[in-house]
Structure 1
Amino acid sequence: MSYVGIVLISHSPKVVEGIKDIIRQVIHDVPIELAGGTDENEIGTSIEKIQVAIDKAYSEKGVLLMYDLGSAKMNAEMAIEMSEKDNIKIVEAPLLEGSYVAAVESGMNKSLDEVVKALEKGF
């Protein structure tokens, strides 16, 4: 079975690691990849890390990008532009709560658009 993949983007590697730990307490099958911190694992974001995470999380159902702060969104948008894949979306929702809801919705075998709608409705 294929699920919408999720990429968690944060300025801190520890933040996305913690969020993934919380989600994995309940949701086990949904692909969740991390793009936290710079390439040197310092505070910031990395387009390259986001691209690698997209490639790993991607399925035929697509992938959803969740981020913490504005510059992370900008790097996510650039990563999407540089990607050769379709069906990638960014959602504006709280990183922890939104990622959790997205994982639950994806785990219910919903489409990328359905997951996005659930997040837009809930926040």
Structure 2
Amino acid sequence: MTGIVVVSHSRPLATAAVDLASQMLRSGGPRIEVAAGLSDTELGTDAAAIQTAIEAAMDDQGVVVLMDLGSAIMSAEMAVEMLDEDDAARVRLSWAPLVEGLIGAAVTAAGGADREEVATQAELAAEAKRMQVTGG
């Protein structure tokens, strides 16, 4: 099952997003790892922590990484560069919105989809939200 990593500047934000996504799943969902904040109260991102989370979430289908903003993207890119070549090739960084994307990714991964389909469904979450808000 495709693994998921949530990268955020805020550990409480990431944990809450994972809790919400987990409630949308039946038992046996994908492995979701959090690499967020520098501590429970200090904001920031850490490439080494992201690398560790990617390695923990990695399986045969790979990993999709969702990030909140700015330097979280740079830290995630750096983390992928720190991986061995084979693992790095199985990581997909997604531009999906963090919360909506995580829910879409988790539900899709739970169905056994590969990392590209998981990332695609996460990214479609932005379009679904846009359509709902704008009416089409």
Tell me the TM-score normalized by structure 1. 0.91
Alignment of 1:31-50 (within 5 A): 31-38=31-38, 42-50=42-50
User: How many residues are paired up?
Assistant: 121
In structure 2, the residue matched to 1:74 is 74
Structure 2 unaligned segments of length 5 or more: list them: 127-136
In structure 2, the residue matched to 1:20 is 18
Task: Name the CA distance, whole Å, in 1 between partners of 2:16 and 2:40.
Answer: 19
The answer on whether the counterparts of 2:61 and 2:115 sit within 8 Å (CA) in structure 1 is yes
Q: CA distance change for structure 1 residues 111 and 71 in 2, over 3 Å: closer, same or farther?
A: same
In structure 2, the residue matched to 1:7 is 5
In structure 2, the residue matched to 1:90 is 93
Amino acid at match of 1:15: L
Amino acid at match of 1:17: T
CA deviation after TM superposition for structure 1 residue 113, in Å: 1.2
CA deviation after TM superposition for structure 1 residue 70, in Å: 1.1
SS at match of 2:50: helix
CA deviation after TM superposition for structure 1 residue 119, in Å: 2.9
Tell me the TM-score normalized by structure 2. 0.83
Amino acid at match of 1:65: V
The answer on whether the counterparts of 2:47 and 2:75 sit within 8 Å (CA) in structure 1 is yes
Q: CA distance change for structure 1 residues 51 and 41 in 2, over 3 Å: closer, same or farther?
A: farther
CA deviation after TM superposition for structure 1 residue 121, in Å: 3.5
Out of 101, 104, 109, the residue aligned to residue 107 of structure 2 is: 104
Structure 1 unaligned segments of length 5 or more: list them: none
The higher radius of gyration belongs to: 2
Task: Name the CA distance, whole Å, in 2 between partners of 1:10 and 1:116.
Answer: 17
Amino acid at match of 1:97: E
The alignment yields a C-alpha RMSD, in angstroms, of 1.5
Map Cα deviations across residues 9-40 of structure 1 (whole Å, 9 max, x no partner): 00000011101111111224210000011268
